[in-house]
Amino acid sequence: MSSDVVAGPVRRTEEQRLVALHLLGLLDAPADDELQAVVRVAAAVAGVPFATLNLIDADRQCQLTSTGFEGSTSARADSMCALHFEEGRTVHLADASLDPRYARNPWVDGRFATVRLYASVPLVTADGDALGSLCVFDTRPGALTADQLERLGDLGRVLLSLFERQRQVRTTEAAHAEVQRQRRVASAAMEVLEERTELVEAVLDTIDVAVVAAGPDGRLTLFNRSAQRWHEVDADPSAAPEEHAARYALVEADGVTPMTAERVPLHRALHEGEVVSEEMVIASLGRQPRTVLASGRAMARADGSPLGAVVVMSDVTAAREHTRALEELHAELADRGAELERSNAELARFAAVASHDLRAPLTVVDGYLELLEDELAEGPALQAGWVAAGRRGVRRMQHLTSSLLDYAAAGAPARPLELTDVAALAREALSDLAAAVEEAGAVVEVEPLPSVPCDPVAVRQLLQNLVANAVHHRRPGRSCRVVVSARPAAGGGGGWVFSVADDGPGVLPEDRARVFEVFTSLAPAPADGSAPQRRSGHGIGLATCQRVVERHGGRVWLEETPGGGATVLFTLAGAPAA
């Protein structure tokens, strides 16, 4: 025996049903006394020992409260009520084991229970959301009267009313909690606003710039402490905008011309929208004039209505005095620079004349010493040694005068730059060094080199000095290898990094910057860790190289050659793009 009683229309959208179910907040929560009482009354009305209130979630059935047995949570697929609760009809079965829809259900076949008499009232809200069911059952077959089924339907509506009341209570509590939260937020915001207001006031009174503000009518509303001190008076809201220039002793940047009302930066910001770095002078009576830069802008409310304007003034009095002093110093330096250029030109001419005048007598002395050397070739060894020592001294003096002349020439005014093949310059330098390279048993390799804008005479001398230096400072008793190469400079600026690398004794790390100083002769870095030996040379060649590179706008430095030795690197600008 079965019967169906319509409980109400059902909205079949599962997502909406689940939202309504979860809004109740009853799942996994203990049922209150009223819900338990309704379930007990339902068992009494039906005259059966068992009753339960089922809420059916997406994948489970939660027996919220029960009577006659201990309720639990089970899979929705195992629920008897889940088969029909969304249809909105009360189901009544005299013996569920005889109904093919339920005969194999675990609540019927003995796995969970042996339900026979079964009646289930769907709980459907006024909006058509099926939440679950009010279920009564017995383990013996039986039947309920129409009146009993009607009363069970009444109890189902009671449950829905209780659900709605609880939902309203939860909504009210949530609304109350939100109101309290909003009050706390508002209170915290007021505290923050008060703190920020205090902070702004403190900052305005602490900073070394003057802040002045006006309302939309141009009347003053704010002077910070610096503005009060600079003007020796506070903002006066009663003063008309036309009075501000005279009242606050504002004059133009020349320090003499009185400022008109239209020129006051605060009024310009208000009417023009913005003013940037306008210079003026505050010439308060009896005080040193103060030169200031004023910048400001108009302010508006969120709705676009005008709020006023604000101007910030910074004191540039000292800066302007400093600028004037710098201008005077610059003019003086320009005069001295011209004099220095004349002096440098005279020194260069002196160096050239001195070198020439020193070379001539040294050449004569060397000639006579050579004659003496020939005369004493068969004579006493002691006298021959004296002559040989004299000739060595003469050659050192000749080398020194040549180096001094090169160093002076490297500091002379630069000649116009020409796009030059550096490889050709390297070949010319090696041609001049051929005898020294051959005598040293050196191998000089020149890798492909670019063309760059340069002073070809100076760069040729630069390469010749670096190669000669590498050959001269080779390891004693062995030949050496020198490699001249170039690579594009990092950064993509078009420049080049040139290098002259040798496999000689190298230079100690702490001495690599000093080798470019004039008259610096340093010891090489011993490969075996022994004490460094005295280095020969007068210490002008690398200083000359540095002058040449810096005159071309580059830089020069020294690194260790991989495997041992020294590598001198220098930069030159690249050729302009076609």
Provide the token pair at 51: 């009753």
> Of 259, 292, 315, which closes a domain?
315
Is residue 383 included in any domain, yes or no? yes
Whether 121 and 58 share a structural domain: yes
The pLDDT, as a whole number, for residue 453 is: 93
Across the range 109-133, mean pLDDT stands at: 93
For residue 140, tell me if it sits in a domain. yes
pLDDT class of 255 with cuts at 50, 70, 90 = confident
pLDDT of 127: 85
pLDDT band at 397 (very low <50, low <70, confident <90, very high): low
* CA-based R_g, the chain, Å: 52
Structural domain span for residue 527: 415-572
Residues 165, 67 within the same domain: yes
Domain count, the chain: 4
CA-closest candidate to residue 69, choices 5, 126, 125, 113 = 113
Residues 291 and 270 in one domain: yes
Pair 218, 120 in one domain: no
CATH number at residue 57: 3.30.450.40
- The per-residue pLDDT for range 261-286, each reduced to its tens digit, is 889 998 998 898 899 988 999 888 77
Question: What does the pLDDT average to over 308-331?
Answer: 85
* Amino acid letter, 85: F
Q: Please check the confidence at residue 26 and state whether its pLDDT lies above 50.
A: yes
pLDDT at 3: 46
Region 498-507 average pLDDT:
92
Q: What pLDDT is recorded for position 31?
A: 86
Answer yes or no: is 179 within a domain. no
Q: What is the DSSP string of 437-483?
A: HHHHT-EEEE----EEEE-HHHHHHHHHHHHHHHHHTPPTTS--EEE
Same-domain status, 468 and 548: yes
Quote the pLDDT of residue 201: 66
542 versus 424: which is more confidently predicted?
Answer: 424
Give the model's pLDDT for residue 537.
47
Give pLDDT, residue 349.
64
CA-CA distance, 278 to 261, in Å (whole number)?
14
pLDDT, one tens digit per residue, over 340-382 is 667 656 656 666 665 556 656 767 676 767 777 777 667 677 7
CATH number of domain containing 264? 3.30.450.20
Please tell me whether residues 366 and 454 are part of one structural domain.
no
Q: Residue 188 domain-assigned?
A: no
**How far are the Cα atoms of 87, 163, 168, 484 from residue 23, in angstroms, in the given order?**
21, 10, 10, 83
Q: What does the pLDDT average to over 258-262? A: 89
The tens digit of pLDDT for each residue in 138-192 reads 999 999 999 999 999 999 999 999 988 888 888 888 888 888 999 888 888 787 7
Q: What is the mean pLDDT of residues 411-424?
A: 80
Q: What is the dihedral of CA 113, 114, 119, 123, to 10 degrees?
A: 20
- Same structural domain, 402 and 425: no
Residue 71 lies in a domain: yes
Give the C-alpha distances (Å, rounded to integers) separating 259 from 250, 273, 293. Answer: 6, 20, 14
Average pLDDT, the chain: 83
In a domain, 17, yes or no: yes
Q: Would the pLDDT of 25 be above 50?
A: yes
CA distance 375 to 386: 13
- Say which range, 61-75, 136-150, 202-216, 399-413, has the weakest mean pLDDT: 399-413
User: Does residue 398 register a pLDDT over 60?
Assistant: no
Picking from 151, 173, 195, the residue at the C-terminal end of a domain is 173
CA dihedral 451, 456, 462, 464 (to 10 degrees): 90
Q: 421 and 482, same structural domain?
A: yes
State pLDDT tens for residues 441-487: 899 999 999 999 999 888 999 999 999 989 988 888 777 899 999 99
Q: Does the structure show a pLDDT above 90 at 236?
A: no
Average pLDDT over residues 206-232: 85
Please report which confidence band the pLDDT of residue 330 belongs to, taking 50, 70 and 90 as the band edges.
confident
Q: Is the pLDDT of residue 561 over 50?
A: yes
Of residues 380 and 540, more confidence is placed in: 380
Range 536-548 average pLDDT: 71
> Does residue 383 sit in the same domain as residue 292?
no
Distances (CA, A) of 94 to 53, 69, 74, 119, 139: 20, 20, 24, 9, 11
